[in-house]
Amino acid sequence: MNIYAEFHARIAEILARFSGEGRLPPGLDPARFVVEPPRDASLGDLACNAAMVFAKEAKAFYPNPRQFATELAFEISAFEDVDQAEVAGPGFLNIRLKPTVYAQILRAVLRQGQDFGRGASGRVAARKVNVEYVSANPTGPMHVGHGRGAVFGDALASLMEFSGSEVTREYYINDAGAQVDVLARSAFLRYREALGEPVTVPDGLYPGDYLKPVGAALATRYGDSLREKPESEWLAPVRAFAIDAMMDMIRDDLAALNITHEVFFSERSLHDSSQGLSDVEAAIEELQSKELIYQGRLPPPKGQLPEDWEDREQTLFRSTSFGDDVDRPLRKSDGSFTYFASDIAYHRKKIEGGYDVLVDVWGADHGGYVKRMGAAVEALSGGKVALDVKLCQLVKLMRDGEPVKMSKRSGDFVTLREVVDEVGVDAVRFMMLYRKNDAPLEFDLARVIEQSKDNPVFYVQYAHARANSVLRQALAAFPDLELGPERLAEAELALLQDESEWALIKLLAQYPRVIESAAAAHEPHRLAFYLHDLASLFHSHWNRGKDQPQLRFVNQDRRDLTCARLALVTGLMKVLASGLSVLGVKAPDEMR
């Protein structure tokens, strides 16, 4: 029961009727206006900007937006569940609902449970979505920076599923290029070490101890048969073996965060031409057929020229035709394809998969590639497929306010798995989401395990556990009390009179809208913020009950009032558990 979507639909019907009656022009797009909670709760329950949004179109019929809003307010006031609709300022609408509306919403929460808020709504229609995230180079274990993108992508996928979309979780394996050859040489060095040779890791190879088991496994598989072979003979099998080992390690790291992918796509497969044209060649041929490929020269980059910059004729994609800053090269000076050419082919495969929306979760250092990738998707799909690239900023790992140093190349770094093992899955996931993805994040290993209100994940989980304790107290006071949601939905909710109780119900009513807006914007942090606000309001009300016994949830002298309040507490638990589940965080019954 999304009261905001419901009133949006009702007001859209009024506007359509006005158009039919010649009181407004036809063709007004209802997606342009919003129905939302007012910034000041004292102004009412709903706020609508329709009169302001359509002021220009309505000018021939109404001299100003306020008069237009007055007409809308008159119509809205006629609804049985509306107590009052009034105009504010130059033409905004504030709508106050009758208390029975919120009683109905609380009953809906109780009866629907964790399905409250689930399903497509007006702005987020059912779509086929591909969310590609993590996609770390398979050259070592995951670090905390990878973890942020992993948690963000996984939570976004769950959020979009909950909102009604069909979602595929995908991992792009970067198993082509120089970095995997370096991995193979590093693993071969550890292979020789496993055979008893003393080795020193030279600069340019990966020095981490995580490759020692890979070397030992190579020794078990091949014995000493590879030792004397030239690199041209051992590189390919060692590379494939090492990539598989690294991907197994990455899958284990992700599993520790309760993250799984349905699809693992190999970059190397894009270059396979054994069956004719490779996927990269086919993608470039398609763009060529659209006259979007040409031979030309690029202007030198501004500022100091890179050492590898060459003034030469190149194969270029007309990305500037789709909003990019400069056309992009598709071949290197040696004739091989650029990484961008591979990325084009990869996204072409996604488009062929029939997705309506592509979401790529990248690290902040890839920001310069967003425009060119958007240009390629628009060109390949004819503008029919939307691409949204979400950049995850860096994570600064701290301990008691002091930075924890990390260096992947030196092998001296804290792995994501170590962080998960130290502070737990819930702390990692919630804190990674308790800040917008494009904002830097300080992750303090000491703070995230504190049992205090300053620790957001504890504060939200404690609200769920505290609500559970209320139910246990109620059973101690009334052993025969039936606490099933269906039974509580029959409670006399009109007995709830305190303003804090109604504030909680009104905040519960916002849950479907939060799901809708967070899914539409691809911003799961909105849900984390909402859950924290809900927990804060509940804790605040609990604390008021310490000083005012009449506000306590369990009243041994008033079974009927207790039941009404338990309905509220149970509804709160359902929404907390639902939201935490979407974020991949547990809703504990007790805190230990």
Q: Residue 144 domain-assigned?
A: no
Report pLDDT for 550. 93
Q: Same domain, yes or no, for 440 and 479? A: no
Q: Residue 369 domain-assigned?
A: no
Q: DSSP string covering 364-379, please?
A: GGGGGGHHHHHHHHHH
* Sequence-distant (≥ 6) Cβ neighbours of residue 580 within 8 angstroms: 460, 461, 464, 531, 586, 587
Q: Same domain, yes or no, for 521 and 426? A: no
Assess contact for 292 and 317: CB atoms under 8 A. Answer: yes
Nearest Cα to Cα of residue 393 among 361, 354, 348, 437: 437
CATH code for position 60? 3.30.1360.70
For 554, the token pair is 């369990």
Q: Residue 325 domain-assigned?
A: no
Report pLDDT for 409. 38
- Which residue range(s) make up the domain with 186? 178-256
Assess contact for 140 and 210: CB atoms under 8 A. Answer: yes
pLDDT in tens, 333-350: 889 999 999 999 999 999
For the cut 50, the answer to whether the pLDDT of residue 362 exceeds it is yes
Q: Domain total for the chain? A: 4
Reported as a pLDDT band with limits 50, 70 and 90, residue 300 is confident
For the cut 70, the answer to whether the pLDDT of residue 125 exceeds it is no
Report pLDDT for 302. 81
Q: Same domain, yes or no, for 418 and 457? A: no
Q: Same domain, yes or no, for 429 and 522? A: no
Q: Residue 271 domain-assigned?
A: no
Q: Same domain, yes or no, for 185 and 243? A: yes
Nearest Cα to Cα of residue 226 among 211, 237, 240, 210: 237
Q: Residue 301 domain-assigned?
A: no
Q: Which strands, in side-by-side order, build the sheet including 328-329?
A: 293-296, 314-317, 328-329
* Sequence-distant (≥ 6) Cβ neighbours of residue 223 within 8 angstroms: none
Reported as a pLDDT band with limits 50, 70 and 90, residue 120 is low
The β-bridge relationship of strands 441-444 and 314-317 is unpaired
For the cut 70, the answer to whether the pLDDT of residue 535 exceeds it is yes
Among 221, 256, 291, give the residue marking a domain's end: 256
For the cut 60, the answer to whether the pLDDT of residue 407 exceeds it is no
CATH code for position 510? 1.10.730.10
Q: Same domain, yes or no, for 444 and 478? A: no
Q: Same domain, yes or no, for 30 and 89? A: yes
Q: How far apart are CA 50 and CA 12, in angstroms?
A: 9
Among 45, 79, 97, give the residue marking a domain's end: 97
**Measured CA distances, 406 to 81, 84, 133, 395, 522 (Å):** 58, 59, 22, 11, 30
Within 10 Å of residue 485's Cβ, how many Cβ atoms?
A: 17
pLDDT in tens, 413-438: 788 998 999 999 999 999 999 999 99
Q: Positive or negative CA dihedral for 370, 374, 375, 376?
A: positive
Among 256, 276, 309, give the residue marking a domain's end: 256
> Would you tell me the crossing angle of helices 499-509 and 511-521 to the nearest 10 degrees?
40
Report pLDDT for 122. 46
Q: Residue 431 domain-assigned?
A: yes
DSSP assignment letter at 32: G
Q: Same domain, yes or no, for 418 and 497? A: no
Q: Same domain, yes or no, for 547 and 462? A: yes
Q: Stretch 191-196: mean pLDDT, rounded?
A: 97
Reported as a pLDDT band with limits 50, 70 and 90, residue 412 is low
Report pLDDT for 208. 87
Q: Same domain, yes or no, for 522 and 549? A: yes
pTM: 0.94
Nearest Cα to Cα of residue 358 among 350, 369, 366: 350
For 562, the token pair is 């207790």
Give ∠ CA 28-31-33 in degrees, rounded to 5: 85
Q: Residue 370 domain-assigned?
A: no
Counted residue by residue, the chain has a size of: 592
Q: Same domain, yes or no, for 204 and 225? A: yes
Q: What is the 3-state secondary structure (H, E, C) of 82-110?
A: EEEEEEECCCEEEEEECHHHHHHHHHHHH
Q: Residue 135 domain-assigned?
A: no
For the cut 70, the answer to whether the pLDDT of residue 406 exceeds it is no
Q: How far apart are CA 528 and CA 431, in angstroms?
A: 9
Q: Same domain, yes or no, for 431 and 413? A: yes
